[in-house]
């Protein structure tokens, strides 16, 4: 069995009709599969959902049924005995579309007058606040009342400074490649220390207090 996808050549449209009758009469064709043949809800999810998401995650169809959401979306699958027969049948599937505005960038899709690409799910699916440093921790810390808030960055550096000096390690030949480590957290310092031990030249890039 060989398969060929019927894919859209537009980026955004309503599906007004899908006609597979001519394709199913083509030589070697076993079946032309559409959304009507998919058991269940005909939806696929990324399996990652968070309380801050503005949808349930089930907004993407396996085979498009009502709308085209992006260029190349699959609408049908032609199943035939040879690759050539499957491709020929896929070309005979007739899809009637009502083309809609195509949003070719995130800002365009996020505009106030943009229509929902997935009906019932906002185009701005979730928002992540950008916070630099540990200022929220210091401002919310209840230790401010008994001598000062905890500074996470300073605490990490204090931990590193108090580590006992390791035993003498056999030096390795210097490497020709360089390594840049971004940040001053424990994970960044651990990476830098490990690579220094392995004789890599390195540079630390640190921002903030």
Q: What is the pLDDT of residue 39?
A: 92
User: The pTM is what?
Assistant: 0.60
Minimum mean pLDDT among 15-29, 52-66, 99-113, 176-190: which range?
176-190
pLDDT category, 104, cuts 50, 70, 90?
Answer: very high
Higher pLDDT, 200 or 109: 109
Q: What is the pLDDT of residue 169?
A: 54
For 41-88, the pLDDT digits (tens) are 898 876 566 677 777 778 889 999 999 999 999 999 999 999 999 999
Domain with CATH 3.90.1170.50 in the chain: 2-110
Per-residue H/E/C for the chain? CEEEEEECCCCCEEEEEEECHHHHCCCCEEEEECHHHCCCCCEECCCCCCCCCCCCCCCEECCCCCEECCCCCEEEEEEECCHHHHHHHHHHCEEEEEECCCCCCHHHHHCCCCCCCECCECCCCCCCCCCCCCHHHHHHCHHHHHCCCCCHHHHHHHHHHCCCCCCCCCCCCCCCCEEEEECCCHHHHHHHHHHHHCCCEEEEECCCC
Q: Looking at the predicted structure, is the pLDDT value of residue 111 above 90?
A: yes
For 136-192, the pLDDT digits (tens) are 566 666 666 666 766 666 766 777 677 666 555 555 555 666 666 665 566 666 666
One CATH from 3.20.20.70, 3.40.50.150, 3.90.1170.50, 3.40.50.700 for 2-110: 3.90.1170.50
| Overall average pLDDT of the 92-104 stretch | 95
* β pairing state of 178-182 and 201-205: parallel
Q: List the beta bridge partners of residue 127.
A: none
Q: What is the pLDDT of residue 54?
A: 78
Per-residue H/E/C for 142-180? HHHHHCCCCCHHHHHHHHHHCCCCCCCCCCCCCCCCEEE
Average pLDDT along the chain: 80
């Amino acid at each position: 069995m060989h398969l060929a996808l019927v894919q859209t050549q537009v980026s955004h449209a309503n599906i007004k009709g899908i006609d597979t009758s001519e394709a199913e009469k083509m030589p070697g064709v076993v079946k032309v599969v559409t959304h009507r043949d998919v058991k269940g809800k005909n939806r696929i999810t990324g399996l990652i959902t968070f309380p801050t998401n503005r949808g349930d995650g089930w907004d993407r169809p396996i085979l498009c049924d009502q709308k085209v959401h992006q260029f190349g979306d699959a609408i049908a699958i032609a199943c035939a005995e040879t690759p050539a027969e499957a491709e020929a049948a896929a070309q005979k599937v007739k899809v009637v579309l009502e083309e809609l505005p195509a949003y070719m960038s995130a800002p365009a899709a996020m505009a106030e007058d943009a229509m929902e690409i997935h009906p019932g799910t906002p185009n701005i699916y979730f928002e992540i606040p950008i916070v630099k440093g540990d200022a929220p921790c210091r401002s919310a810390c209840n230790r401010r009342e008994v001598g000062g808030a905890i500074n996470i960055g300073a605490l990490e550096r204090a931990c590193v400074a108090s580590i006992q000096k390791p035993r003498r390690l056999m030096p390795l030949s210097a490497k020709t490649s360089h390594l840049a480590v971004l940040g001053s957290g424990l994970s960044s310092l651990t990476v830098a220390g490990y690579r220094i031990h392995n004789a890599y030249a390195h540079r630390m890039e640190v921002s903030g207090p």
